[in-house]
Each structure stands twice: as C-alpha cells, then as structure tokens.
C-alpha cells in the first residue's frame, strides 16, 4: 500500500488523442510514453495514483473519428527538478 500523505506533487500525463482537431501521431505517443517512464524511474520516483481511460466515437461529416486515450496521474513526494513547470 502506498502512503498518500507523502504525495505533494501530481502530474497528469495523457497518452493518446483527446482532441479531434489535434490527433496524436505515433511519435507524440512515444514521446508521452517515454516521459511517463522517466517519471516512474528517475529520482524522485513517481507512483501511479490513478488512470483515466477515455474512448469516444465522433461523426464529422460522413467520417467517423475514434479518440482513445489513457491519462495517468503520477504522484511525487516533491516536484522533480528535471521537470519543467510548463511541460505536459
């Protein structure tokens, strides 16, 4: 069991598409996955606190667009120094 009282910083990391006007390509997904792995392995090590799973089918004109994403909430005991404040 992870002690949540030590968590003082939470980062939300989205892997996948959530906006139909800005679809995520394979390179963006790999970059987000590498960032998640860094959050879980570099010091201070983060822990996954929760996962959101989203799935949407949109009809745009006569086309169907599928949006899928996994959103990870990673908790840290403090904000990592290697993590810029504006990075998502």
Residue 51 lies in a domain: yes
Region label for 83, one of left (φ > 0), alpha (ψ between -120 and 50) or beta (otherwise): beta
User: Residue 85 falls within a domain, yes or no?
Assistant: no
Residue 87 lies in a domain: no
Q: Does 86 reside within a domain?
A: no
Residue 83 lies in a domain: no
User: Is the pLDDT assigned to residue 87 strictly greater than 90?
Assistant: no
Name the band, by pLDDT with cuts 50, 70 and 90, for residue 86: low
pLDDT for residue 34: 96
Whether residue 10 is contained in a domain is answered as yes
- Which residues constitute the domain of residue 69? 4-76
Render pLDDT for 36-61 as a digit per residue (tens, 0 to 9).
999 999 999 999 999 999 998 888 88
Which domain CATH number covers 14?
A: 3.30.110
pLDDT averaged over every residue in the chain? 88
Check residue 8 and give its pLDDT.
92
Domain assignment present for 71: yes
Q: How many independent structural domains does the chain possess?
A: 1
């Amino acid at each position: 069991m992870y002690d949540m009282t030590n968590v003082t910083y939470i980062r939300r990391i989205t892997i996948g598409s959530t906006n139909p006007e800005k679809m995520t390509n394979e390179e963006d997904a790999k970059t987000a996955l590498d960032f998640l792995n860094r959050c879980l392995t570099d010091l201070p090590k983060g822990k996954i606190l929760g996962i959101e799973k989203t799935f949407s089918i949109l009809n745009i004109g006569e086309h169907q667009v599928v949006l899928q994403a996994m959103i990870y909430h990673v908790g840290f005991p403090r904000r990592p120094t290697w993590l810029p404040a504006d990075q998502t």
